Structure 1
Amino acid sequence: MAIIEDIDPVKADFRNFLYLVWKHLNLPDPTPIQYDIAHYLQHAPKRCVIEAFRGVGKSWITSAFVCWLLLRDPQTKILVVSASKGRSDDFSSFTKRLIADMPELQHLIPKDGQRDSMVAFDVAPALNSHAPSVKSLGITGQLTGSRADVIIADDIEVANNSLTQMLRDKLSQSIKEFDALLTTKPEARIIYLGTPQTEMSVYNSLPERGYEVRIWTARFPNPSQIEKYMGRVAPYITDALDRDPALAGKTSDPKRFTDIDLMEREASYGRSGFALQFMMDTSLSDADRYPLKLIDLLIFDIDRDVAPVKLTWAGSPEYTIPTLPSVGFIGDRYQRPMFSSKEFTDFQGSVMSIDPSGRGADETGYAVVKMLNGMLYCPVASGFKGGYDDETLKSLALVAKNQKVNLIIIESNFGDGMFTKLFTPWLAKVGYTCTTIEERSVGQKERRIIDTLEPVLNQHRLVVSENVAKEDLKTEDPRYQLMFQLTRITKDRGSLVKDDRLDALAIAVKYWVEQMDKDTSTSLDEYKTRMLEEELERFADTVFGHSDHSLTWANA
């Protein structure tokens, strides 16, 4: 094999073959980073993880790599595992198309009698074997029974299978199967290619299992960022920074993305999303970066009219709700009350807040928050895709009526009061009357939301209906989920791409916090007055031997 490789540069170096594939596909020459990934693919250790930014072409490079392995040794057995069957079918289709169309690979086209399907196919020179030359499956497919010399996990982590800790645990368990499927050949390998989808990415646990991780970031990281990667950044990146430190913050692959392209994507994804999918930064600098946690909520079935006189929170595991998946970070979970009094009484008030859709793909977020004895209860909170259309306005009016709200607060930052003018008639149409006011928010949104909600959550004074959490999970795009927004917001400007539902909740909570502050101030004034009256009475008793309450100035 070594003699053949010395003679044939295409077989000797995968980068040369990658160049031919790109030319066949009428693509520009591979970029330096694509060549660097290709070189690492060829020479990486037995167990490796390639993390690279979205859009770098990982899946296309992987398909070319599979073809190159078969070109070198048609007896190689390869298993490619993707996040879903659809992705694995796409991979198979693209790989088979390369074999059928490229002159250098056409001798590998399956012969009559050989396997030739989307799930599995043989190459012509392959000897009869239980295992096909190439088999592609989704991570949830039937992995047991497969055998392979090379296992390639191509983007197995996606938003849909890594959103909650339960899903991440399930994914982590599935990939443990890979070691049982690997042959004992010296050249046998397991290769992961992917982009982290959450801060608790399954890729983070692989070094503990003996995997080497190599990371290619979309921008050259600055010195403080470099430390977060624990020596895993590709030498291509770090060497370039050593030669020219001024590269920090600039695009690492200008042929793929310019600096302006990356700025636009950062605005679209939000800072945290961009950090994950373009910078592969899954670090959590400290607990305060994500100050709002699900464990600080109380989950309870909330009645429309009444609530327990007292609820008590506890963070111990026996009060965790295991049937309610958490979208928070590791260890975050939903808690039911440790104690709920048997006495119920009417709510002291009910407020609905509406954050109208501003522009583009924004939602109209809404939340209802009720108050009793200093505890805040959220029976409903969600969002509508529409903004000013009749269906959305009618639905919001019905929510207000069904929840018997006393006050509706509408954020007026967009539209200059137009939403209120359109919405108010719908209250009359559904047969409901209540006070409607507008509120213009000022200051940085993220800080305002956190400053409002964090103290309330830390004191465990916010009770959320279990139905709110369940319905929230049904929202397909996690960026629109209330609980996802709650656990991902930071004080960084633009930390959330979507915040409509969380902003609506914060507006309603803020109203009650301010009301309780006023009540506290009033109570304090009344207490001081009462203490002064008692002191005057004692003074009168001491000096005059009696106290004529009717003559004291405090009672005048």
Structure 2
Amino acid sequence: MTDPPADLLEFVWVWNSQAGQGTPPVHRRVLRWLEGRRAAGDHRLLLMAFRGCGKSTLVGLYCAWLLYRRPETRILVLAADHPLATKMVATVRRIVERHPLCRPLVPASPEAWAVDRFTVERPGALRDPSMLAAGLGGNITGLRADVIVCDDVEVAGNCDTAGKRAELRERLAETEFILTPGGTILYVGTPHCAESLYRTAQEGESWLAGYRRLRIPLLDGAGRSAWPERFSEAMVAQLRERVGPIHFSRQMLLRPVAAEAARLDPALLIRYAEEIDYREAQGRPVLSLLGRRMVSGGGFWDPAFGRPERGDSSVLAATYADAEGNHYLHRIAYIVQEPDAPDDPATQQCRAVARLARELLLPVVRVETNGLGRFLPAVLRREMARAGAACAVVEQHSHRAKQERILSALDPLLAARKLHAHEQVFRTPFPVEMAEWKPDVAGTRDDALDALSGCLLAEPVRLPGAPPAARGAGWRGIDGTVPALTQSYM
């Protein structure tokens, strides 16, 4: 007489015990729901849980358990891209190889045992593998599956415009033609936009109407953590500060908050009037601001050549950062050219940027090369050399939507009150642009916001630990000698 097959919770307990770890209550809740829905015959499921909950790992164990219970099951994992889907398939393959209850599933001579597809020991001769990974951009026509796991099919890059959202839904509709009669579709993910796939009818039009849902936000209505051992009150506060209110609401509280809910309030900027202070100690340069040592800094230039009153503005933002995570918007410069000047507009603007880079001791200036800026880095490098600025020029091509860049850069810092701005910034159009900014509204001015977001999102460039080579007006003066013990730069 053989033992009855293990239920899902027991299956996971065996796996966790083998790894020397427990099964927290939040995981047991997910596992009971998955098995309960299967027993009830529910075939359209949506699992929403906060980021870091381990939902993909649990779903991987669920897939391995399905193969353990019925080896002829065919599972398709569909994700935003193929590598993400492969990650889950590879995880399930590893579980099948190592789980004590899955040993009969490992074939003696596996013909298909790759990281993105594998076939277990099973009766019959089915054409499709036991488990297969596919990205939304791949061709899945002709496949057949008994279970389809849509794991993180909605990500920031494929839902930030109406056209992308329509394309996403069109591709997902194909799953209904792949699923076998009586099969199951399980969506796993978190919302990334206001028009999320996962929103309920109360939140707007529901793409997944009729799906049975399990929703586990990080915090309940009383503010208690769903996993206090891992996400303590202090850790939750730090996370909220790092990612900002919008992303925290979407990814951790599972609310499809509209981007319009973001308010870039200039009053949240911490105003200061001091200039950067350069000192040398034992031949090593130190740059300070407000009595704090700066550890990184740089500029971001979003160029334009039209008239600012009729089109985009050409804007340079210059920022510094200290070791405590405070950022300092030291300058916002609207770069203009004279139509009657002997030099061409590109040279005029590059010369102005090079002059500011020298004055502000910027170690790097990144140039937005989308569109008009493609030929500017070479001109800017020439003008940097002529100005004697010890400043690198880096080409920057943006792939994310401008709205997403601005929100992800400014929202966390403003919420945490870690973004400072020099009083000169308040004498430019920047505060008005910031206060009037509305995502997804055509014609809204955002050139300075885009330049600032470029600075904040860029990989920090550390200020050099040794003085730069004498190229002109660097930190060591025009001829390489130290001009004075202390200098302030306007």
2:277 corresponds in structure 1 to: none
Helix, strand or coil for the counterpart of 1:136? strand
Partners of 2:171 and 2:80 lie apart in 1 by 11
Helix, strand or coil for the counterpart of 1:65? helix
Deviation at 1:492, TM superposition (A): 9.8
Amino acid aligned to 2:163: M
Contact 1:271 1:496 survives alignment (8 Å)? no
Helix, strand or coil for the counterpart of 2:46? strand
Higher relative contact order (CA 8 A, sep 6+): 2
Change (3 A) 1:506 1:109: farther
2:334 corresponds in structure 1 to: 368
Bigger Rg, structure 1 or 2: 1
Amino acid aligned to 1:259: E
Specify which of 101, 112, 127 is matched with residue 124 of structure 2.
127
Correspondence list, 1:536-547, <5 A: none
Helix, strand or coil for the counterpart of 1:63? helix
Partners of 2:43 and 2:367 lie apart in 1 by 57
1:253 corresponds in structure 2 to: 227
Aligned-residue sequence identity (percent) comes to: 21
Contact 1:81 1:138 survives alignment (8 Å)? yes
1:30 corresponds in structure 2 to: 23
Helix, strand or coil for the counterpart of 1:261? helix
Change (3 A) 1:278 1:102: same
Amino acid aligned to 2:54: G
Deviation at 1:104, TM superposition (A): 1.1
Partners of 2:362 and 2:260 lie apart in 1 by 43
Q: 1:509 aligned to 2:441?
A: no
Q: Flag the structure with higher strand content.
A: 2
- TM-score, normalised to structure 1, is 0.53
Contact 2:44 2:211 survives alignment (8 Å)? yes
Partners of 1:71 and 1:391 lie apart in 2 by 58
Partners of 1:46 and 1:282 lie apart in 2 by 24
Deviation at 1:216, TM superposition (A): 0.2
Partners of 1:369 and 1:164 lie apart in 2 by 30
Helix, strand or coil for the counterpart of 2:132? strand
1:194 corresponds in structure 2 to: 189
Contact 1:47 1:189 survives alignment (8 Å)? yes
Amino acid aligned to 1:19: W
Q: Deviations over 1:257-309 (max 9, x none)?
A: 1111111111111111111111111144x9665589xxxxxxxx9635x578x
Partners of 1:19 and 1:71 lie apart in 2 by 15
Q: 1:81 aligned to 2:53?
A: no
Helix, strand or coil for the counterpart of 2:198? helix
Q: Deviations over 1:452-509 (max 9, x none)?
A: xxxxxxxxxxxxxxxxxxx99x435x5xx753355689999845999899x9998631
Partners of 2:407 and 2:413 lie apart in 1 by 15
Q: Deviations over 1:178-199 (max 9, x none)?
A: 11111013xx110011122223
Deviation at 1:388, TM superposition (A): 6.9
1:211 corresponds in structure 2 to: 211
Change (3 A) 1:388 1:65: farther
- Number of matched pairs: 349
Q: Deviations over 1:488-540 (max 9, x none)?
A: 89999845999899x99986315899xxxxxxxxxxxxxxxxxxxxxxxxxxx
Amino acid aligned to 1:264: Q
Deviation at 1:203, TM superposition (A): 2.2
Amino acid aligned to 1:155: D
Specify which of 270, 275, 278 is matched with residue 249 of structure 2.
275
Q: 1:169 aligned to 2:199?
A: no
Contact 2:243 2:408 survives alignment (8 Å)? no
Contact 2:317 2:333 survives alignment (8 Å)? yes
2:387 corresponds in structure 1 to: 430
Q: Deviations over 1:5-36 (max 9, x none)?
A: xx5361xx311111112222332x11111111
Q: Deviations over 1:80-102 (max 9, x none)?
A: 11222222222222211111112
Partners of 1:106 and 1:128 lie apart in 2 by 20
Amino acid aligned to 1:8: P
Partners of 1:127 and 1:52 lie apart in 2 by 37
Change (3 A) 1:490 1:95: closer
2:33 corresponds in structure 1 to: 40
Change (3 A) 1:351 1:176: closer
Partners of 1:119 and 1:395 lie apart in 2 by 39
Correspondence list, 1:7-406, <5 A: 8=4, 10=6, 13-27=7-21, 29-44=22-37, 45-112=42-109, 114-185=111-182, 188-204=183-199, 206-221=206-221, 248-284=222-258, 303=305, 354-359=317-322, 366=332, 368=334, 390-392=362-364
Contact 2:120 2:130 survives alignment (8 Å)? yes
Q: Flag the structure with higher helix content.
A: 1
Change (3 A) 1:95 1:510: closer
- Aligned-residue Cα RMSD (Å) equals 4.4
Change (3 A) 1:291 1:36: same
Amino acid aligned to 1:115: A
Amino acid aligned to 1:252: A
Partners of 2:60 and 2:115 lie apart in 1 by 14
Helix, strand or coil for the counterpart of 1:149? strand
Contact 1:369 1:509 survives alignment (8 Å)? no
1:475 corresponds in structure 2 to: 398
Contact 1:489 1:495 survives alignment (8 Å)? no
Amino acid aligned to 2:252: F
Partners of 1:291 and 1:210 lie apart in 2 by 37
2:404 corresponds in structure 1 to: 484
Helix, strand or coil for the counterpart of 2:52? coil
2:275 corresponds in structure 1 to: none
Runs of 5+ unmatched residues, structure 1: 222-247, 293-300, 312-335, 338-349, 373-378, 403-425, 433-470, 514-556
Partners of 1:506 and 1:177 lie apart in 2 by 52
Q: Deviations over 1:303-348 (max 9, x none)?
A: 35x578xx6xxxxxxxxxxxxxxxxxxxxxxxx99xxxxxxxxxxx
Partners of 2:172 and 2:252 lie apart in 1 by 24
Change (3 A) 1:369 1:41: farther
Partners of 1:500 and 1:367 lie apart in 2 by 16
Change (3 A) 1:74 1:510: closer
Contact 1:108 1:123 survives alignment (8 Å)? yes
Change (3 A) 1:208 1:60: closer
Deviation at 1:49, TM superposition (A): 0.9
Partners of 2:161 and 2:418 lie apart in 1 by 19
Change (3 A) 1:153 1:263: same
Contact 1:353 1:504 survives alignment (8 Å)? no
Helix, strand or coil for the counterpart of 1:19? helix
Change (3 A) 1:95 1:17: same
Contact 2:244 2:412 survives alignment (8 Å)? no
- TM-score, normalised to structure 2, is 0.60
